[in-house]
């Protein structure tokens, strides 16, 4: 067993990004921050997949094989819902999923997009956020045993509000496959 603060020797981290370049500095590759900050021993456990999408996760991982996911991607509704739907078969019951930017519209005046917030607030599952923060921006959900019921919730959430962006029919089909 690993000591507190140490990762087990057999852990894997997979990072998926639609872009090969960091959005805030196009001269940087996705993952450069990790490559610069982490030692080679830790980097051996990380795989960077770019370009890739949430549906790539489903292609590369077995059903019920993932115990933790962090979603920080396109923020416009319905993209966060589509991302979670695309990965759902790979997430095992009891998996923790962190959603970033659940209060983005309240925290960043010029970024009034609500996808992550509507997803987090709309789900009827076990969830938590940093209660000590005045306005927490990361929320965690637990994948329930009944993933079919969660899928139904996600499909209902997808159409519960006006879309902030219009994914193509092909993109929607891929996420729902």
State mean pLDDT over 114-142: 94
Buried b (16+ CB within 10 A) or exposed e, 18-39: eeeeeeeeeeebbbeeeeeeee
21-42: pLDDT as tens digits: 998 899 999 999 999 999 999 9
Mean pLDDT of 66-70: 97
- pLDDT attached to residue 135: 92
- Identify which has the larger pLDDT, 82 or 130: 82
Q: Is the pTM of this model over 0.95?
A: no
Could you say which DSSP state residue 3 is in? P
**Phi, psi values for residue 79, rounded to 5°:** -55, -45
Helix (H) or strand (E) holding 150: helix 147-160
First to last CA, the chain: 38
- Distance, in Å, from the CA atom of 128 to the CA atom of 122, rounded to the nearest integer, reads 13
Residue 6 has pLDDT above 70, yes or no: no
Q: How many CB atoms lie within 10 A of CB 117?
A: 21
- The residue among 110, 109, 164, 99 whose CA lies nearest residue 137 is 99
Determine the longest span between alpha carbons in the chain, in angstroms. Answer: 48
* Per-residue pLDDT at 122 exceeds 60: yes
Please tell me which residue, 104 or 133, carries the higher pLDDT value.
Answer: 104
């Amino acid at each position: 067993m690993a000591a507190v603060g140490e990762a087990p020797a057999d852990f894997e981290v997979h990072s998926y990004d639609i872009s090969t370049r960091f959005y805030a500095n196009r001269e940087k590759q996705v993952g450069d921050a990790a490559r610069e900050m982490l030692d080679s021993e830790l980097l051996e456990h990380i795989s960077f997949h770019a370009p890739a999408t949430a549906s790539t996760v489903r292609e590369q991982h077995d059903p019920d094989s993932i115990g933790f996911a962090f979603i920080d991607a396109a923020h416009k509704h319905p993209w966060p819902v589509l991302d979670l739907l695309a990965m759902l078969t790979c997430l095992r019951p009891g998996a923790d999923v962190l959603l970033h930017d659940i209060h983005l519209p309240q925290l960043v005046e010029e970024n009034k997009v609500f996808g992550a917030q509507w997803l987090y607030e709309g789900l009827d599952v076990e969830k938590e956020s940093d209660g000590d923060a005045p306005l927490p921006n990361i929320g965690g959900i637990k994948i329930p045993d009944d993933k079919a019921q969660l899928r139904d919730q996600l499909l209902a959430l997808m159409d519960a509000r006006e879309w902030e962006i219009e994914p193509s029919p092909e993109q929607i089909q891929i996420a729902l496959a």
